[in-house]
Structure 1
Amino acid sequence: MTIRACGLIIFRKLREAASSPSAAATVENNIEYLLLQTSYGTHHWTPPKGHVDPGEDDLQTALRETQEEAGLDPSQFTILEGFKKELNYTVRGKPKSVIYWLAEMKDSDVEVKLSSEHQAFRWLPLNEACELSGYQDMQATIREAHRFLCSRT
Protein backbone atom coordinates (compact mmCIF):
# COMPACT_ATOMS: atom_id res chain seq x y z
CA MET A 1 0.00 0.00 0.00
CA THR A 2 1.25 3.47 -0.91
CA ILE A 3 1.90 5.94 1.92
CA ARG A 4 0.15 9.25 1.13
CA ALA A 5 1.26 12.68 2.28
CA CYS A 6 0.39 16.23 1.29
CA GLY A 7 1.91 19.65 1.83
CA LEU A 8 2.40 23.20 0.64
CA ILE A 9 5.33 24.86 -1.06
CA ILE A 10 5.06 28.23 0.65
CA PHE A 11 6.66 31.36 -0.74
CA ARG A 12 6.78 35.02 0.10
CA LYS A 13 7.58 38.06 -1.98
CA LEU A 14 10.09 40.38 -0.42
CA ARG A 15 8.86 43.91 0.24
CA GLU A 16 11.47 45.71 -1.80
CA ALA A 17 10.15 43.79 -4.80
CA ALA A 18 7.20 46.18 -5.01
CA SER A 19 9.39 49.02 -6.30
CA SER A 20 11.26 46.94 -8.87
CA PRO A 21 10.99 48.31 -12.41
CA SER A 22 10.44 44.88 -13.98
CA ALA A 23 7.72 42.49 -12.88
CA ALA A 24 9.74 39.55 -14.22
CA ALA A 25 12.79 40.64 -12.21
CA THR A 26 10.56 41.00 -9.17
CA VAL A 27 9.41 37.40 -9.37
CA GLU A 28 12.80 36.02 -10.33
CA ASN A 29 14.87 37.66 -7.62
CA ASN A 30 12.51 38.54 -4.78
CA ILE A 31 10.83 35.26 -3.87
CA GLU A 32 11.79 33.11 -0.91
CA TYR A 33 10.61 29.59 -0.14
CA LEU A 34 9.94 28.20 3.33
CA LEU A 35 11.81 25.04 4.30
CA LEU A 36 11.60 23.26 7.65
CA GLN A 37 14.38 21.12 9.10
CA THR A 38 13.22 17.89 10.72
CA SER A 39 14.20 17.20 14.31
CA TYR A 40 14.46 13.46 13.57
CA GLY A 41 16.34 11.18 11.19
CA THR A 42 18.80 12.90 8.87
CA HIS A 43 17.45 16.37 9.77
CA HIS A 44 16.51 16.97 6.13
CA TRP A 45 14.81 20.15 4.89
CA THR A 46 11.36 20.10 3.26
CA PRO A 47 8.26 22.22 2.86
CA PRO A 48 5.57 21.50 5.49
CA LYS A 49 3.88 18.18 4.72
CA GLY A 50 2.46 15.12 6.43
CA HIS A 51 0.42 11.95 6.20
CA VAL A 52 -3.23 11.95 5.22
CA ASP A 53 -5.51 11.15 8.17
CA PRO A 54 -8.58 8.90 7.73
CA GLY A 55 -11.53 10.88 6.35
CA GLU A 56 -9.33 13.79 5.24
CA ASP A 57 -8.93 14.92 1.66
CA ASP A 58 -5.51 15.81 0.28
CA LEU A 59 -5.85 19.59 0.49
CA GLN A 60 -7.23 19.39 4.05
CA THR A 61 -4.11 17.39 4.95
CA ALA A 62 -1.81 20.01 3.42
CA LEU A 63 -3.57 22.81 5.31
CA ARG A 64 -3.58 20.92 8.62
CA GLU A 65 0.06 19.90 8.36
CA THR A 66 1.13 23.46 7.49
CA GLN A 67 -0.70 24.75 10.56
CA GLU A 68 0.71 22.01 12.80
CA GLU A 69 4.31 22.15 11.58
CA ALA A 70 4.79 25.86 10.81
CA GLY A 71 2.00 27.52 12.80
CA LEU A 72 0.60 29.07 9.62
CA ASP A 73 -3.18 29.38 9.43
CA PRO A 74 -4.90 29.08 6.03
CA SER A 75 -6.08 32.69 6.41
CA GLN A 76 -2.42 33.79 6.23
CA PHE A 77 -1.75 32.49 2.71
CA THR A 78 -3.37 32.00 -0.67
CA ILE A 79 -3.18 28.73 -2.58
CA LEU A 80 -2.43 29.43 -6.22
CA GLU A 81 -4.65 27.87 -8.85
CA GLY A 82 -2.92 25.85 -11.53
CA PHE A 83 -0.02 24.32 -9.60
CA LYS A 84 -0.19 20.85 -8.09
CA LYS A 85 2.70 18.40 -8.14
CA GLU A 86 2.82 14.76 -7.10
CA LEU A 87 6.12 13.13 -6.15
CA ASN A 88 6.45 9.35 -5.98
CA TYR A 89 9.37 7.63 -4.31
CA THR A 90 10.24 4.79 -1.93
CA VAL A 91 10.80 5.19 1.83
CA ARG A 92 12.11 2.22 3.81
CA GLY A 93 11.02 -0.13 1.02
CA LYS A 94 7.47 1.25 0.77
CA PRO A 95 6.04 3.41 -2.03
CA LYS A 96 5.19 6.97 -1.00
CA SER A 97 3.18 9.63 -2.82
CA VAL A 98 3.40 13.30 -1.79
CA ILE A 99 1.21 16.00 -3.32
CA TYR A 100 2.22 19.66 -3.08
CA TRP A 101 0.29 22.83 -3.78
CA LEU A 102 1.83 26.29 -4.08
CA ALA A 103 0.85 28.95 -1.54
CA GLU A 104 1.73 32.63 -1.24
CA MET A 105 2.03 34.34 2.14
CA LYS A 106 -0.22 37.40 2.42
CA ASP A 107 2.20 39.05 4.86
CA SER A 108 5.91 38.38 4.33
CA ASP A 109 6.66 39.13 8.00
CA VAL A 110 4.34 36.52 9.52
CA GLU A 111 5.90 34.47 12.30
CA VAL A 112 6.66 30.78 11.72
CA LYS A 113 6.02 28.67 14.84
CA LEU A 114 7.62 25.24 14.61
CA SER A 115 6.22 22.05 16.10
CA SER A 116 8.42 19.54 17.90
CA GLU A 117 8.80 17.70 14.56
CA HIS A 118 11.12 20.47 13.32
CA GLN A 119 14.13 22.23 14.79
CA ALA A 120 14.68 25.10 12.35
CA PHE A 121 13.18 26.95 9.41
CA ARG A 122 14.55 29.18 6.70
CA TRP A 123 13.17 31.48 4.02
CA LEU A 124 15.45 30.96 1.03
CA PRO A 125 15.79 32.16 -2.56
CA LEU A 126 15.38 29.53 -5.27
CA ASN A 127 18.94 28.21 -5.61
CA GLU A 128 19.57 28.05 -1.85
CA ALA A 129 16.21 26.33 -1.27
CA CYS A 130 17.08 23.74 -3.92
CA GLU A 131 20.54 23.20 -2.50
CA LEU A 132 19.26 22.77 1.05
CA SER A 133 16.37 20.47 0.07
CA GLY A 134 18.89 17.88 -1.09
CA TYR A 135 16.58 15.47 -2.91
CA GLN A 136 16.55 15.81 -6.69
CA ASP A 137 12.79 15.39 -7.03
CA MET A 138 12.18 18.10 -4.41
CA GLN A 139 14.67 20.40 -6.13
CA ALA A 140 12.89 19.84 -9.44
CA THR A 141 9.53 20.58 -7.81
CA ILE A 142 10.73 23.86 -6.29
CA ARG A 143 12.22 24.87 -9.66
CA GLU A 144 8.95 23.95 -11.39
CA ALA A 145 7.03 26.08 -8.87
CA HIS A 146 9.41 28.96 -9.52
CA ARG A 147 8.96 28.67 -13.31
CA PHE A 148 5.20 28.64 -12.75
CA LEU A 149 5.45 31.86 -10.71
CA CYS A 150 7.68 33.54 -13.29
CA SER A 151 5.29 32.61 -16.10
CA ARG A 152 2.44 34.44 -14.36
CA THR A 153 3.99 37.91 -14.68
Structure 2
Amino acid sequence: MLRATGFVIFRVLDENIQYLLLRASYGDRHWTPPKGHVDPGESDFITALRETKEEAGLDESDLEIFENVTKTLEYKVKNKNKNTIYWLAKLRDPQKPIILSEEHTELRWLKLTEAQELAGHKDFNELLNEFHTHATKCMK
Protein backbone atom coordinates (compact mmCIF):
# COMPACT_ATOMS: atom_id res chain seq x y z
CA MET A 1 0.00 0.00 0.00
CA LEU A 2 1.23 3.49 -0.84
CA ARG A 3 1.51 5.86 2.11
CA ALA A 4 1.83 9.64 2.24
CA THR A 5 1.55 12.33 4.89
CA GLY A 6 1.23 16.09 5.03
CA PHE A 7 -0.26 19.13 6.70
CA VAL A 8 -3.43 21.03 5.93
CA ILE A 9 -2.01 24.50 6.53
CA PHE A 10 -4.20 27.48 7.27
CA ARG A 11 -3.60 31.09 8.07
CA VAL A 12 -5.78 33.77 9.61
CA LEU A 13 -5.67 36.95 7.54
CA ASP A 14 -8.07 39.87 8.00
CA GLU A 15 -10.18 37.65 10.27
CA ASN A 16 -10.55 35.05 7.49
CA ILE A 17 -9.30 31.49 7.55
CA GLN A 18 -7.47 30.56 4.35
CA TYR A 19 -6.09 27.16 3.35
CA LEU A 20 -2.92 26.57 1.35
CA LEU A 21 -3.26 24.45 -1.78
CA LEU A 22 -0.46 23.68 -4.23
CA ARG A 23 -0.93 22.75 -7.89
CA ALA A 24 1.03 19.69 -8.99
CA SER A 25 3.32 20.06 -11.99
CA TYR A 26 2.60 16.48 -13.09
CA GLY A 27 -0.30 14.19 -13.95
CA ASP A 28 -3.69 15.88 -13.84
CA ARG A 29 -2.11 18.93 -12.15
CA HIS A 30 -4.32 18.44 -9.10
CA TRP A 31 -4.45 20.74 -6.07
CA THR A 32 -3.47 19.47 -2.60
CA PRO A 33 -1.80 20.63 0.58
CA PRO A 34 1.93 19.87 0.89
CA LYS A 35 2.32 16.10 1.27
CA GLY A 36 4.48 13.24 0.10
CA HIS A 37 5.46 9.60 0.34
CA VAL A 38 6.88 8.14 3.51
CA ASP A 39 10.50 7.06 3.04
CA PRO A 40 11.65 3.71 4.48
CA GLY A 41 12.44 4.06 8.19
CA GLU A 42 10.84 7.51 8.38
CA SER A 43 7.91 8.24 10.71
CA ASP A 44 4.67 9.63 9.33
CA PHE A 45 5.07 12.90 11.22
CA ILE A 46 8.70 13.43 10.13
CA THR A 47 7.59 12.81 6.53
CA ALA A 48 4.95 15.53 6.83
CA LEU A 49 7.57 17.97 8.16
CA ARG A 50 10.08 17.06 5.44
CA GLU A 51 7.56 17.32 2.62
CA THR A 52 6.26 20.67 3.88
CA LYS A 53 9.81 22.03 3.92
CA GLU A 54 10.54 20.66 0.44
CA GLU A 55 7.26 21.69 -1.19
CA ALA A 56 6.39 24.95 0.57
CA GLY A 57 9.61 26.11 2.27
CA LEU A 58 8.04 25.99 5.72
CA ASP A 59 9.83 24.67 8.81
CA GLU A 60 8.23 23.21 11.92
CA SER A 61 8.96 26.53 13.66
CA ASP A 62 6.73 28.31 11.09
CA LEU A 63 3.74 26.20 12.11
CA GLU A 64 1.52 25.65 15.09
CA ILE A 65 0.77 21.96 14.60
CA PHE A 66 -2.35 20.39 16.07
CA GLU A 67 -1.13 16.80 16.45
CA ASN A 68 -4.51 15.73 17.86
CA VAL A 69 -6.34 16.99 14.74
CA THR A 70 -5.56 14.33 12.15
CA LYS A 71 -7.36 12.26 9.56
CA THR A 72 -6.40 9.49 7.16
CA LEU A 73 -7.82 9.41 3.64
CA GLU A 74 -7.92 6.11 1.75
CA TYR A 75 -8.19 6.07 -2.03
CA LYS A 76 -6.75 4.50 -5.18
CA VAL A 77 -3.98 5.87 -7.39
CA LYS A 78 -3.31 3.97 -10.62
CA ASN A 79 -5.19 0.94 -9.21
CA LYS A 80 -3.07 0.89 -6.03
CA ASN A 81 -4.43 1.55 -2.57
CA LYS A 82 -3.07 4.69 -0.92
CA ASN A 83 -3.37 6.15 2.56
CA THR A 84 -2.64 9.83 3.17
CA ILE A 85 -2.47 11.11 6.72
CA TYR A 86 -3.01 14.83 7.29
CA TRP A 87 -2.56 16.96 10.38
CA LEU A 88 -3.90 20.47 10.82
CA ALA A 89 -1.33 23.27 11.13
CA LYS A 90 -1.61 27.03 11.48
CA LEU A 91 0.93 29.30 9.82
CA ARG A 92 2.27 31.45 12.67
CA ASP A 93 3.08 34.44 10.43
CA PRO A 94 0.27 34.88 7.88
CA GLN A 95 2.60 36.96 5.67
CA LYS A 96 5.34 34.28 5.52
CA PRO A 97 6.16 33.63 1.86
CA ILE A 98 5.65 30.15 0.46
CA ILE A 99 8.56 28.82 -1.60
CA LEU A 100 7.39 26.26 -4.16
CA SER A 101 9.47 23.30 -5.29
CA GLU A 102 9.59 22.08 -8.89
CA GLU A 103 6.81 19.63 -7.96
CA HIS A 104 4.28 22.48 -8.05
CA THR A 105 3.48 25.28 -10.48
CA GLU A 106 1.41 27.61 -8.31
CA LEU A 107 -0.14 28.12 -4.91
CA ARG A 108 -3.34 29.62 -3.61
CA TRP A 109 -4.64 30.68 -0.22
CA LEU A 110 -8.36 29.97 -0.25
CA LYS A 111 -11.39 30.20 2.00
CA LEU A 112 -13.03 26.89 2.89
CA THR A 113 -15.56 26.65 0.06
CA GLU A 114 -13.04 27.84 -2.54
CA ALA A 115 -10.50 25.25 -1.36
CA GLN A 116 -13.14 22.54 -1.54
CA GLU A 117 -14.15 23.53 -5.07
CA LEU A 118 -10.54 23.54 -6.27
CA ALA A 119 -9.55 20.27 -4.60
CA GLY A 120 -12.78 18.66 -5.77
CA HIS A 121 -12.58 15.33 -3.89
CA LYS A 122 -15.45 14.42 -1.58
CA ASP A 123 -13.30 12.78 1.10
CA PHE A 124 -10.84 15.69 1.17
CA ASN A 125 -13.71 18.18 1.32
CA GLU A 126 -15.11 16.33 4.34
CA LEU A 127 -11.66 16.48 5.95
CA LEU A 128 -11.58 20.24 5.33
CA ASN A 129 -14.97 20.63 6.99
CA GLU A 130 -13.74 18.76 10.07
CA PHE A 131 -10.46 20.67 10.20
CA HIS A 132 -12.26 23.98 9.67
CA THR A 133 -14.17 23.44 12.91
CA HIS A 134 -10.84 23.29 14.76
CA ALA A 135 -9.32 26.17 12.80
CA THR A 136 -12.30 28.38 13.68
CA LYS A 137 -11.53 27.86 17.38
CA CYS A 138 -8.12 29.47 16.76
CA MET A 139 -9.79 32.76 15.86
CA LYS A 140 -11.48 33.14 19.25
TM-score bracket for this pair, using the shorter chain length: over 0.9
TM-score (norm 1): 0.87
Moved over 2 A (4+): 148-153
User: Match of 2:106?
Assistant: 120
Structure with larger Rg:
1
Task: Report the 3-state secondary structure (helix = DSSP H, G, I; strand = E; otherwise coil) of the residue aligned with 1:12.
Answer: strand
> Would you say 1:103 and 2:102 are equivalent positions?
no
Gaps of 5+ in 1: 18-29
d(CA) in 1 for partners of 2:67 and 2:40? Answer: 25
**Is the strand fraction higher in 1 or 2?**
2
Listed as ranges, the matches of 1:27-38 within 5 Å are 30-38=16-24
d(CA) in 1 for partners of 2:137 and 2:50? Answer: 29
TM-score (norm 2): 0.95
d(CA) in 2 for partners of 1:41 and 1:81? Answer: 31
- Offset, 1:149: 2.5
Aligned pair count reads 139
**Is the helix fraction higher in 1 or 2?**
1
d(CA) in 2 for partners of 1:95 and 1:31? Answer: 32
Match for 2:27 among 20, 24, 41?
41
> Would you say 1:57 and 2:43 are equivalent positions?
yes
d(CA) in 2 for partners of 1:108 and 1:11? Answer: 9
